[in-house]
Amino acid sequence: MTPISQVTGRAIPFGLKNVDTDIIIPAAFLKTITRSGLGKGAFQAIRAEPGNIFDNPTYAGSPTLIAGDNFGCGSSREHAAWALLDLGITCVIAPSFSDIFSGNAFKNGILTVVLPQEAIDRLMEVARTDEITVDLETQTVTTPFQDRFSFEIDPFRKHCLINGLDEVGLTLARDAAIGGYEAKAKGSLPFLAVVEH
């Protein structure tokens, strides 16, 4: 997973509340065999409208999305996180997130930042003209205009995001312990340790 410590760039001033996972990625896209490529289905209904914010060239390639309350509610589909990543979004700022979505986002290396509505309002305003910087090390969101908003994050999640550790990566770091188990099992449970054929 790509380590993430600072996200700087334009942010999409989306702002919508209660964006569910069906809005992020409709069910029709769930039969895919890949994680990549889901960007084409992301926010499909919204993007069907001409002049929508996602297809506005000003925000093309923005790494950050600013959203309203309860972002990512609905089904548990991990496809929602995959779709955002495919759009190039690695950070979402909102007043609150659904638990499952923020878990899935974290698993995929997306930083979710919770800030109060006043801060969101101010960031929405700045995002229309200027870049925004999200710094995970210092846990702050700053603008070129001396705005500085601090946010909370679980220390374990912070550690994983900064070091690019996903759950698989974390377990892979326990390689010695796993190898130790395998060596021991070869002696004590040889019939399980290998498959004869």
Number of residues that bind other proteins (CB under 8 A): 29
Cβ 46 to other proteins shortest distance, Å = 25
Position among 6, 36, 52, 138 found at the interface with other proteins (CB under 8 A):
36
Q: What is the DSSP letter of 173?
A: T
Residues 6+ apart with CB under 8 A from 122: 143, 147, 149
Helix or strand holding residue 64 (H, E): strand 64-66
Q: Does 137 bind other proteins (CB under 8 A)?
A: no
Position among 7, 78, 96, 106 found at the interface with other proteins (CB under 8 A):
78
Q: Does 99 bind other proteins (CB under 8 A)?
A: no
Q: Does 48 bind other proteins (CB under 8 A)?
A: no
Token couple for 16: 């919508």
Q: How many CA atoms lie within 13 A of 11 on its CB side?
A: 30
Residues 6+ apart with CB under 8 A from 76: 21, 100, 104
Cβ 2 to other proteins shortest distance, Å = 10
Separation between Cα atoms, residue 175 and residue 55, nearest integer Å: 44
Q: Does 183 bind other proteins (CB under 8 A)?
A: no
Separation between Cα atoms, residue 55 and residue 57, nearest integer Å: 6
Q: Does 171 bind other proteins (CB under 8 A)?
A: yes
Q: Does 195 bind other proteins (CB under 8 A)?
A: yes
Q: Does 167 bind other proteins (CB under 8 A)?
A: yes
Q: Does 182 bind other proteins (CB under 8 A)?
A: yes
Q: Which is nearer to other proteins, 50 or 197 (CB)?
A: 197
Query: What are the phi and psi torsion angles at 160 (to 5°)?
Result: -65, -45
Q: Which is nearer to other proteins, 10 or 79 (CB)?
A: 79
Cβ 70 to other proteins shortest distance, Å = 23
Please state whether beta strands 64-66 and 11-13 pair in parallel, antiparallel, or not at all (unpaired): parallel
With contact defined as beta carbons under 8 Å apart, do 100 and 81 qualify?
Answer: no
Question: Which residues lie across from 114 on neighbouring strands?
Answer: 94
Q: Does 27 bind other proteins (CB under 8 A)?
A: no
| Residues of this chain that bind other proteins (CB under 8 A) | 1, 31, 33-36, 78, 107, 167-168, 171-172, 174, 177-178, 180-182, 185, 188-197
